[in-house]
């Protein structure tokens, strides 16, 4: 792949070219020259005037259905959705059938994703079969390519299991990812507990269900001296606890789902099951705390929590509908619309491209000469409408179809490949 990108504004806190409007010449997947007025014959030219270029983005909370649930999403359609959303790498949660609970499943995913523009990095389970009983063979999975460990959308209820998992993983530098929910408190409720749940006559999930587990896991991380990552935090109390833990010097990191930064639980008044997610959409006070947490560094990364479902799992009564949004293609506009007055553009890029890789111990791409081209080209001002026909994901369970969005990824470059998205 030989490509000349013209007049792009570079956004990369780690680059000496940060903030400059320059051309980038890419040959055979390597950035060979960065400067003004570069000319080269026989190469594809991309005019990036008025657009930004950053290190390629990474989403560290994504679910595909491969293996076993390919009718929801397979690796091919998932990677297409990721590229359309501006991502050059995704970390896959083990919510498959069978789960990613041994080296065989990890190697299967790695082999399925070979040759893709998008780097697909599997997350192994904490417990065997995600049953929350016995620890999985985490070290073996690490040797096969697992980048972290989580039971995905199944929280670890057994404190002893979580403690032993932290101890085991820390022995070889592994990372445990906690989805914090006390299932006994959340019970079978379907939305956030508050005025809206009372108005709708629906049982609510209190913030306590999340905050109690955050507190437990922080104590366990402190006791074991282990590093721990919280995924999709959603409450002000959780943010406060994580902030306090970091001040104590604990190795705690966290991410937030993009939809939790924009939507509050009042959108459920229409009983649209595409807004049904877990953790549930919270209230405006929680949203403010999440944004403040991103701004001050308490929350490190923004994720999609991409959760694809077939139509029969969503177009049913709200009570019985499955949880989740297909979010890979809308992460950036949601972040841009919710935080454009809160976060600098550099901070947005940090949460999307740099921090996820730092958390997972991966090499962070940088915009420099003679470096591998791992890049995302995007526009913060472009307004567009998401249509079902343009969605690359196999599943269409998103509440943003037909909605006007602001901000879009226009191209991704990685692994000597170049993909442009639809304007």
pLDDT tens column, 75-120:
999 999 999 999 999 999 999 999 999 999 999 999 999 999 999 9
Look up residue 392 and give its two tokens. Answer: 């690359």
What integer pLDDT is reported at residue 258 of this predicted model? Answer: 98
* pLDDT, tens digit, 9 for 90 and up, residues 275-326: 999 999 999 999 999 999 999 999 999 999 999 999 999 999 999 999 999 9
- Determine the number of helices (DSSP H) and then strands (DSSP E) in the chain: 13, 18
In which band, very low, low, confident or very high, does the pLDDT at 421 lie, cut at 50, 70 and 90? confident
Mean pLDDT, range 179-206, rounded to an integer: 96
- Alpha-carbon Rg of the chain, whole angstroms? 21
Q: What is the DSSP string of 100-164?
A: S-SHHHHHHHHHHTTT-SSEEEE-B-SBGGG-SSSB--HHHHHHHT---B--TTS----HHHHHH
- Under the banding of pLDDT at 50, 70 and 90, the label for residue 423 is low
Is residue 218 within 8 A of residue 194, CB to CB? The reply is: no
pLDDT, mean of residues 397-416: 98
The mean predicted confidence, pLDDT, of the chain is 97
Overall pTM > 0.95: yes
Reported as a single tens digit per residue, the pLDDT across 338-396 is 999 999 999 999 999 999 999 999 999 999 999 999 999 999 999 999 999 999 999 99
Length of the chain equals 423
Q: Which domains does the chain have, with CATH numbers?
A: 2-53+369-420 (2.30.40.10), 56-360 (3.20.20.140)
Structure tokens at 58: 């990474």
Distance CA 180, CA 217 (A): 8
Query: With 0-12 CB in 10 A as exposed, 13-18 as middle and 19+ as buried, what is 134?
Result: exposed
Lowest mean pLDDT among 96-100, 148-152, 269-273, 419-423: 419-423
Which tens digits make up the pLDDT trace of 51-62?
A: 999 999 999 999
pLDDT tens digit sequence for 26-45: 999 999 999 999 999 999 99
pLDDT band for position 196 (cuts 50, 70, 90)? very high
Q: Given pLDDT bands bounded at 50, 70 and 90, which one contains residue 406?
A: very high
Q: How large is the average pLDDT for residues 124-136?
A: 97
Contact yes or no for 183/157 (Cβ under 8 A): yes
| Res 422 pLDDT > 90 | no
């Amino acid at each position: 792949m030989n490509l000349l990108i013209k007049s792009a504004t570079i956004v990369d806190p780690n680059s000496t070219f940060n903030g400059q409007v320059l051309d980038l010449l890419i040959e055979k997947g390597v950035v060979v020259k960065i400067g003004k007025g570069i000319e080269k014959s026989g190469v594809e030219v991309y005019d990036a005037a008025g657009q930004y270029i950053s290190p390629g983005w990474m989403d560290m909370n994504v679910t595909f259905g491969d293996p076993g649930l390919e009718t929801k999403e397979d690796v091919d359609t998932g990677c297409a959705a990721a590229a359309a959303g501006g991502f050059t790498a995704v970390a896959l949660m083990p919510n498959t059938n069978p789960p990613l609970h041994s080296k065989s499943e990890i190697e299967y995913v790695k082999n399925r994703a070979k040759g893709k523009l998008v780097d697909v990095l599997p997350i192994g389970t904490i417990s065997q079969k995600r049953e929350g009983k016995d620890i999985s063979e985490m070290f073996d999975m690490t040797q096969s390519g697992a980048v972290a460990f989580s039971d995905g959308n199944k929280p670890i209820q057994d404190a002893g299991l979580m403690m032993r998992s932290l101890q085991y993983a820390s022995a070889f530098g592994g990372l445990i990812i906690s989805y914090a929910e006390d299932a006994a408190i959340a019970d079978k409720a379907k939305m956030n507990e508050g005025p809206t749940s009372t108005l709708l006559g629906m049982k609510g999930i209190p913030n306590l269900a999340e905050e109690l587990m955050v507190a437990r896991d922080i104590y366990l991380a402190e006791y074991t001296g282990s590093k721990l990552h919280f995924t999709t935090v959603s409450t002000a109390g959780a943010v406060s606890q994580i902030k306090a833990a970091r001040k104590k010097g604990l190795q705690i990191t966290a991410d937030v789902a993009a939809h939790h930064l924009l939507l509050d639980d009042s959108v459920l008044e229409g009983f649209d099951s595409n807004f049904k997610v877990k953790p549930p959409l919270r209230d405006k006070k929680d949203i403010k705390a999440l944004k403040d947490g991103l701004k001050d560094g308490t929350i490190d990364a923004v994720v999609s929590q991409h959760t694809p479902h077939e139509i029969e799992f969503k177009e049913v009564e709200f009570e019985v509908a499955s949880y989740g949004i297909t979010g890979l293609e809308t992460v950036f506009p949601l972040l841009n619309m919710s935080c454009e007055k809160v976060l600098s553009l550099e901070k947005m890029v940090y949460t999307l491209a740099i921090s996820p890789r730092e958390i997972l111990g991966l090499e962070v791409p940088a915009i420099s000469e003679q470096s591998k081209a791992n890049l995302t080209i995007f526009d913060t001002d472009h307004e567009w409408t998401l249509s079902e026909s343009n969605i690359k994901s196999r599943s269409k369970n998103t509440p943003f179809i037909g909605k006007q969005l602001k901000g879009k990824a226009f191209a991704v470059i990685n692994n000597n490949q170049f993909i442009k998205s639809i304007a």
